[in-house]
Structure 1
């Protein structure tokens, strides 16, 4: 996505201003999720956030792979708040709950370097190979990865939320 959505949209004749708007919508959605992260965490544990993110990813990547309609793309770009934001929030929540305070910076650094460094780099390389073969069809492969992630998240242990009564 990060490396090839702009290329895909430009190849379809989309104006740079629309591409910038689409990117901006994704960023705004992410910021909004993080702004309300306290409320989100109060309602959903990491497992639920991963299932939600994977489910949103299925829809988002299928739409991005099958259409270049600016209206449809704008609607699914808002899902970036879930496809990236909810996964990141789940990881931070997990680290905060499972790692001692004196090791939390190390754990966050390892997560960031693995997820945003090595995994993203490898993903970009493999996406380049895939995009060269199937162009927009590569986004459909991303939908399969989202489905696999959402399915795998079902097998993670969930947390019981405390229910406050009046």
Structure 2
């Protein structure tokens, strides 16, 4: 790291941002189940934040590129996320919770795409070191998921909203600590037209289709894995540790990502991620009662999230000029939201009618379809 890089400030923000994900992804479904909602209603409530990713990132991404005030958007989004979620203390019926989920997600999804642009602007020619910053988000996820798994096993899920508010406060403080930076202009891309022109470059649209399919395939995982494992007899403490194992594998991948980028092309890394995702969902749907198989499936998170996400961030950076970086990252977040929302919805409806095995089998097919698109539509480029 160079002396000019605010490593700990950037890392601290990632820590709190993904600690929030570690507190919500495994435990939101359990909390809604604790409140007495059915599987279909849980799927609908968890689909709402994903649907907000269809709208919010593009709006905020355009605003960030047009104004250049990306850090102001990050700070505003952090404060409004906290204020919106605090409305959960007003009421907990289905309609009110749906409103809370929509409002806080609208602002939460404004934050990360803009922050990714700021991070890459700080890194500049050191962009391969992005993973060394991002791994602190994974550490934050682990701290949250393991600690809260034990906490909820001891005291129950009634304190869940208070924990979320506390972590959101950390995001607000982290955003105030981060210095601003702007991406550099690159002549090779700036001369290729605006955002839509660069979006139509060969392979870019195919990549974004694969982003949606990957998140679609994660629908049953993020929505019902905790419930699935609890039904198989695993305790909440162990469930938290299993989530943490996946993220630990992700951290190790991030540490190795710079070396992988030097050896393999982005096309090869994305293809491997999709193929391993297809296998992972089959293992979780059919053999999760066997602890060793479950451990192997969680270790695959290194590929299905870690390798995929780091490769995707680099693909977006390579594909768009400085004035389109915010919109490129926002579209990545948006299509992740589209896929995630559809994944949460279909898994919510199929979980009861088809069962876990077939629900995860559909997820596996989505990942396999993405692998075929990568293999046939993305151009091979050097490491």
Pairing of 1:1-166 with structure 2 (within 5 A): 1-67=221-287, 68-115=289-336, 117-137=337-357, 138-155=359-376, 156-161=378-383
Greater Cα radius of gyration, structure 1 or 2: 2
Q: Deviations over 1:50-96 (max 9, x none)?
A: 21011111221111111121221011101011012222122111112
Cα RMSD for the two superposed structures: 1.5
Query: Is the 2:264–2:382 contact (alpha carbons within 8 Å) kept by the matching residues of 1?
Result: no
- 1:126 deviates by 1.3
Q: Deviations over 1:26-45 (max 9, x none)?
A: 11112222222211211222
Query: Is the 1:50–1:90 contact (alpha carbons within 8 Å) kept by the matching residues of 2?
Result: yes
| Distance in 1 between residues matched to 2:249 and 2:333, nearest whole Å | 20
TM-score by length of 2: 0.40
| Distance in 2 between residues matched to 1:103 and 1:35, nearest whole Å | 28
| Distance in 2 between residues matched to 1:39 and 1:133, nearest whole Å | 45
Counting matched residue pairs gives: 160
- 1:2 deviates by 0.4
| Distance in 2 between residues matched to 1:128 and 1:33, nearest whole Å | 31
Query: Is the 1:50–1:149 contact (alpha carbons within 8 Å) kept by the matching residues of 2?
Result: no
Gaps of 5+ in 1: 162-166
Query: Is the 2:257–2:307 contact (alpha carbons within 8 Å) kept by the matching residues of 1?
Result: no
TM-score by length of 1: 0.88
- 1:100 deviates by 0.9
Higher-RCO chain (CA-CA 8 Å, sequence separation at least 6):
1
Gaps of 5+ in 2: 1-220
